[in-house]
């Protein structure tokens, strides 16, 4: 197994570490969860770069790299739902976005996670169908934009969870703008997830429509 593929596999391990740390009760662990997620997300950039630079692109990497991304992203969104429920029950909700008299808490709704997981399962199923026909479907540019938006949204939400344990000047600066950025990036991520899923399924429709 070459180095890029080892880095890809490490992302699965980092995903488990991220989830364990995130779901441990107590504020001090939220910063560790944020760092673990950022490191895991960064491995997506580094493994692809190394594979292309050194000519180490392989069928394993083409198939497993997107799968590792989907596991990381889907796990993060589902875990953030649990975090919000726990915050509601314990009265530890992060800072809200104030719009007039309304307070909007940037959070992952259950339907958002359903959209994300459904899209990722559908695309993964399409990749497996292609593999059964001895085809490899590489990650495409629009899918990378979708992943970038999802990572930004998750990082913003994790930062909101962790900011309470940071020094006051930094916390005040972040919490002034972060709720808005988190909410905006979350909606952009959901929109891109749905759109790219439809595009992907339509572009490769011949894989599942042939013979139906």
CATH number at residue 103: 1.20.120
Question: Taking residues 201-208, what's their average pLDDT?
Answer: 86
Question: pLDDT tens digits, residue range 67-101?
Answer: 899 999 999 999 999 888 877 767 666 655 555 55
Q: Kindly report the pTM of this predicted structure.
A: 0.87
| Confidence at 30, pLDDT banded by 50, 70, 90 | confident
Distance CA 40, CA 195 (A): 25
| Confidence at 149, pLDDT banded by 50, 70, 90 | very high
Q: So what's the pLDDT on residue 145?
A: 87
Which residue from 36, 38, 48, 39 is spatially nearest to 8, judged by alpha carbons? 48
Strongest mean pLDDT among 16-20, 62-66, 165-169: 16-20
Q: So what's the pLDDT on residue 26?
A: 67
Question: pLDDT tens digits, residue range 41-52?
Answer: 999 889 888 888
Question: pLDDT tens digits, residue range 97-140?
Answer: 555 555 566 788 899 999 999 998 998 888 888 888 888 777 67
Number of domains in the chain: 1
Range of the domain at 83: 3-209
Residues 164-180 as b/e (b if ≥16 CB within 10 A, e otherwise) read eebeeeebeebbeebbe
């Amino acid at each position: 197994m070459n180095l890029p593929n080892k880095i890809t596999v490490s992302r699965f391990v980092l995903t488990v570490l991220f989830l364990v740390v995130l779901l441990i009760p107590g504020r001090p662990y939220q910063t560790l969860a944020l760092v673990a997620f950022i490191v895991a997300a960064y491995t997506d950039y580094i493994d692809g770069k190394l594979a292309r630079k050194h000519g180490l692109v392989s069928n394993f990497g083409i198939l497993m790299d997107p799968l590792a991304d989907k596991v990381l992203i889907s796990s993060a969104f589902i875990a953030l739902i649990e975090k919000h429920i726990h915050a509601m029950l314990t009265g530890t909700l992060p800072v809200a976005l104030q719009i007039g008299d309304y307070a909007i808490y940037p959070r992952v709704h259950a339907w958002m996670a359903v959209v994300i997981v459904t899209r990722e399962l559908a695309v993964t199923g399409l990749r497996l169908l292609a593999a059964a026909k001895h085809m490899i479907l590489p990650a495409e540019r629009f899918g990378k934009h979708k992943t970038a938006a999802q990572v930004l949204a998750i990082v913003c939400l994790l930062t909101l969870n962790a900011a309470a344990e940071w020094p006051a000047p930094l916390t005040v600066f972040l919490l002034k703008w972060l709720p808005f950025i988190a909410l905006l990036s979350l909606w952009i991520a959901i929109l891109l997830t749905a759109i790219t899923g439809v595009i992907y399924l339509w572009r490769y429709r011949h894989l599942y429509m042939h013979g139906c």
